[in-house]
Amino acid sequence: MSKISQTGSSTPGFGYFFYHYVWMVIDVFYPPVCSGCEKPGIRWCDECNSKVQIIKAPFCQVCGTPLQRGGSCDECREHPPQFDRLRSLAVFGGPLRTALHGLKYRRDQGIAEILAAPLINIVDREAWEFDIIVPVPLSKPHLRERGYNQAEMIARPLALGLKKPCVVDAVIRSKETSSQVALSPAERYANLQDAFSANPAKLKGRNVLLLDDVATTGATLNSCSKALKDAGAKTVLCLTVAKTLRKGNVASVG
């Protein structure tokens, strides 16, 4: 099991450390509990960290699903996705699932910058080159209800760490698509059609890192990527903290 920490070759700038210190000051005034197990005094404890199943190679070079050997998976060969790449830090489960649910539904925002740090390592490892970071948006009613976008909470410190602009108005979401899991692939496609619309002025000719908290079926990222490409984005590289694995895709997690 790999430690969730930032050890890559990118040198985060002043803004990244300032953001981090702001959260450390908040911790002094509002003592945190672990986002995975509610242990007091720390936002993310070693025990929860040790239970995170990091996704390691070999995996599908397109969608990042663990495989027995490299290359691309059947799904990507038969139905090539709209995005160019998808990588995820870890399997969606255990304390990481609890932490991501807390970020999404219980305003546990302090965990976001902790989860952003290891994503810098993935960008380094993959040698990704891109111009802007775009968090997958929420629809306006959803954003009003929740008060913040959990993907943006992760994208902001990531952008500071990678010294790239975080652009939140490049794409909007006109309908919410949260109940994707129970749908068939055809229903998912229909459900997601025209869910996103992107702004060509922000995207034409740009290489985009599209960030979300979890990739469940990949359909949301796929649909959002299509909108970005339709608006002129050259490449779309998707990055998520967690990924739901289909049965049998457990070859290389550890």
Q: Which residues bind Zn ion (CB under 5 A)?
A: 34, 36-37, 39, 45, 48, 60, 62-63, 73, 76
Q: Are 166 and 243 in contact (CB under 8 A)?
A: no
Of 96 and 153, CB closest to Zn ion = 96
Report the nearest approach of Zn ion to the CB of residue 238 (Å).
12
Q: Are 94 and 51 in contact (CB under 8 A)?
A: yes
Of 62 and 90, CB closest to Zn ion = 62
Q: Are 19 and 157 in contact (CB under 8 A)?
A: yes
Report the nearest approach of Zn ion to the CB of residue 64 (Å).
7
Of 38 and 176, CB closest to Zn ion = 38
The residues, ordered by sequence, that sit 6+ positions from 221 with a Cβ below 8 Å of its Cβ are 81, 83, 86, 136, 210, 212, 215, 238, 240
Q: How far apart are CA 72 and CA 66, in angstroms?
A: 10
Report the nearest approach of Zn ion to the CB of residue 76 (Å).
3
Report the nearest approach of Zn ion to the CB of residue 208 (Å).
19
Q: Are 249 and 108 in contact (CB under 8 A)?
A: no
Q: Which tokens hold the place of 134?
A: 């775009």
Of 60 and 116, CB closest to Zn ion = 60
Report the nearest approach of Zn ion to the CB of residue 90 (Å).
15
Report the nearest approach of Zn ion to the CB of residue 39 (Å).
5
Of 73 and 228, CB closest to Zn ion = 73
Nearest 10 degrees: CA dihedral of 61, 216, 178, 126? -40
Residue listed under structure tokens 């059609």: 193
Q: How far apart are CA 166 and CA 58, in angstroms?
A: 30
Q: State how far the alpha carbon of 72 is from the alpha carbons of 172, 180, 214, 229, in Å.
A: 30, 24, 21, 22
Of 42 and 143, CB closest to Zn ion = 42
The residues, ordered by sequence, that sit 6+ positions from 217 with a Cβ below 8 Å of its Cβ are 180, 181, 188, 244
Of 12 and 36, CB closest to Zn ion = 36
Report the nearest approach of Zn ion to the CB of residue 153 (Å).
19
